[in-house]
Chain A
Amino acid sequence: MSTPTSDIRHFDAIVVGGGPIGAHVARELSNAHKTVLLLEAGRAGGLTYEGYRSYVTNFHTQVAKDTNSPYPANASAPSPREIDLTQIDPGTPDLNGYQVEFGPQTFASTYLRQLGGTTLHWLGTTPRFLPNDFQLATKYGVGMDWPVTYDDVEPDYCLAEWSIGVSADRKEQEGIGIPFQKGYEFPMLPIPASYSDQVIDKATKGLTVALANRRYPVTVSRLPQARNSIPNPRARPPKPDGRGIDPHGAPYRPVGAVGNPDVGLRCEGNSACIPICPVQAKYSALKTIDKLDRRYVTLEAQTVVTKLTIDDNGRISGVEYLSYDTEGGATTAGRATANIYVLAGHAIENAKLLLASGAANGSDQVGRNLMDHPFSSSWALAPRSMGIFRGPLQSSGIESLRDGEFRREFAAFRIDLSNVGWDIVPDANPPYGDVSRALAKNMFGPALRRHLGDIVPRQVRVGFDLEQLPESQNRVTISREFKDAIGCYRPVIRYGLSDYTWQSMVESMKVSRAIYQRMGIPDADQHYVTSDATQPDERNFRARDGKDYLLNFVGAGHHMGTHRMGLWRTNSVVDRDQRSWDHENLYVVGCGSFPTTGTANPTLTALALALRSTRHMLSQLH
């Protein structure tokens, strides 16, 4: 164990980033009695119940209710926002907001720089990757393989699911091709499927679709979610290394709100997972941070790490940071040192910091291969009420098209079913948009009330999280031209989709159409793209069938690939333990380490990888 020497503070480990990954790394290291400095660029507001509730009421009174709207803007640690996005003109960067965007497509995903990180506004859906997702090159000749296999990660998936509290059914997950170790059960029973899920499930029984000349079933299943449900009385926790089940362990106890543990013990159907769960039934990293052993963990928020310094032996020798008292106000420079350094600041911020430090970039891959799950939607008006706006934002998905031979030709997709109607549909903005449109038609009185009660509950929206391949020109860079209020680099982003993903978007329409037909929805009530040319990310795509399609997508908030892991130092930033090839005491962890995207929401996999890496970190510290 370390004691401070001179005025430079020294720790066993410095963890940069107080989100889910940083919190878990800090927990694992401190549980082994290692001293940790956990640095967070944003505020620590959510650690009191009242502070967190203030974000909820703040959300209520925001006119624009985008993903970061509950959280006060912070000029000293800015975050991207959807409301800052504009159409990109070719050749002219979009300078609006925090991200500088060169296109050709808008990178429309956001994250949050605040203690708890993006888990404050994440959806909380936590599917595992499929075994084939780790071996895309070997199986389908596209993308690249991961340096770890599903089997390598499986024990850590179990640990991660018990750590954050995942509600799911093992059998149901096995049905979509996810293997589990013997005896394992999810800590909580699955979140009930919404009424609209049930309607779609019933309508699509036995439905199959053809993709690249093979037929695949369209099967609705309940989503694994990091959201409190009924604890599974039969489930016992995994052993500390994730290998095997501890038969003497106690069943899972749901974790309630930080500072008010009786609240949030079940999902209460606030329909608000994004941007904020008002009762904290949804996992956020605040729950992990709240329980950190403060004898070993020093938490410092409002501290922006600006640079890693490197010594002559190629080891990281310290972090330099700027701390601030008031957002946008004066900063104080500081420095701290440690035996190991862990960057857990998000795929974009990790890459920025490495580039700013000239670190870890022997492969020239830092910041490259930026990926997301481009998200496209179709929407329709069902013949009867779907009972929307009552549950978590999503409770079921269609997971049966996440893998198949078609991946040689175009991207796989994970389909989610909205519990809140046309939420992501451009300009729909339910139910407010419905009110505006009715008022524009001069509706009023009982007719207005009846009209809204008729049309809004019938909204159906089917969304596709599409796979995207690693492409080196999709990247985040930094430039002296573009800095924020305290002089730190803003992310400069170049981003586009290849035909692999565009074609998949066209294929996805077939699936939507098949679902809607089964539901008895006439063609006139089915919608695929907007015809409004002002929408960002629209593109005319000539598909394999020779037809032109006007396509459109938004970001899923799943930033991946910017410091990818690999088997060789020539084409990856970190090794299979997420350790930098170039600096033996530097780890770069999180979704940025993913070589390919699969179709699963990435946080659970990032947590599993992080837990795996902490064992390597501890072996270095012993």
Chain B
Amino acid sequence: MDHDRAVAAHHAPDSPLQQFVSLSVTLTGFDDAELWGTGLVNTYYALFPSIVGDAVFGDFMTRWNYTHRRGAGDASQLHTLVRQQILDDPDFGPLARNLISLWYTGQWNQLPAAWRNVHGAWANDATFIVSSAAYSEGLVWKAIHAHPIAAKQPGYGSWALPPDGEEPA
């Protein structure tokens, strides 16, 4: 089962899957338990190379590992490095934003034309929502303290209660 692979990998701190999770944690601002809780770690880990190919994905992870090692133990240093080495990078920035988009919305966005001109236009690189589950588990809904539209409904009358941190009206 897919799951066994995931569990085994979970225990190997330097496994490629674990590196993918740690990159995802850094990019999304959600911890690894929250990411695993979506049930989508394996889906997204498999999806990325299926769209941009193993080589591009491998380079992306290599860049992350390099960045991660350099910033180890200093959150603010890591943050700066991620911005410089990944998000501002013309090759890796679009990939990083797409990874955030996947986690936040369940949607893969077609990579920008500039990126495609350099790396080629991959057949699967179209804008699409990965699955109903990917939609429902979009982290943006957790970030805004809400539920995904048409999924995970909060129940009758919940909307009358004050949101977390607010007083009754």
Contact = CB atoms under 8 A, between A and B. Distances in A.
A–B proximity contact (CB within 8 A)? yes
Interface of A: 56-57, 59-63, 65, 192-195, 198-199, 201-202, 229, 266-272, 276, 278-279, 384-392, 395, 419-420, 431-432, 434-436, 439, 442, 444-450, 452-453, 456-457
A192 B146 CA distance: 18
A61 B131 contact: yes
A198 B160 contact: yes
Interface size class of B (residues with CB under 8 A): 35 or more
B150 A444 contact: no
Given A446-B29, A452-B144, A395 B96 contact: no
B150 A193 contact: no
Given A59-B150, A445-B29, A448-B29, A431 B159 contact: no
B104 interface: yes
A555 B136 CA distance: 29
Per CB-CB distance, the 9 closest pairs between chain A and chain B, nearest first, are: A391-B159, A387-B163, A389-B146, A198-B169, A449-B29, A272-B150, A266-B156, A446-B29, A268-B153
Interface stretch (B10-18, B42-50, B54-62, B80-88): B80-88
B7 interface: no
Contacts of B169: 195, 198-199, 201-202
A203 to B, nearest CB: 9
A259 to B, nearest CB: 18
A171 to B, nearest CB: 19
B162 interface: yes
Interface in B130-169: 131-132, 135-136, 139-141, 143-147, 149-151, 153-163, 165-166, 168-169
B129 A61 contact: yes
B65 interface: no
A195 B161 contact: yes
A57 B26 contact: no
B151 A60 contact: yes
B144 A453 contact: yes
Nearest to A57: B132
Given A435-B101, A445-B29, A452 B140 contact: yes
A435 B135 contact: no
SS of A interface (majority):
loop
Given A435-B105, A445-B82, A419 B159 contact: yes
Interface string B67-109: 0000000000001001100011000010011001100110100
Contact of B159 (A269, A447, A450): A269
Given A57-B132, A62-B129, A445-B26, A195 B156 contact: no
Nearest to A272: B150
A431 B149 CA distance: 10
Nearest to B158: A269
Given A267-B156, A269-B155, 15 more contacts: A59-B150, A60-B151, A194-B160, A199-B169, A201-B169, A269-B159, A385-B166, A392-B159, A420-B149, A442-B87, A444-B28, A444-B96, A449-B28, A449-B30, A456-B144
A444 B27 contact: yes
Contacts of B160: 192-195, 198, 391
Contact of A63 (B26, B107, B131): B107
Contacts of A56: 150
Contacts of A446: 29
Interface string B18-37: 00000000111110000000
Contacts of B140: 431-432, 434-435, 452
B4 to A, nearest CB: 27
Contacts of A456: 143-144, 146
A60 B157 CA distance: 24
A420 B143 CA distance: 15
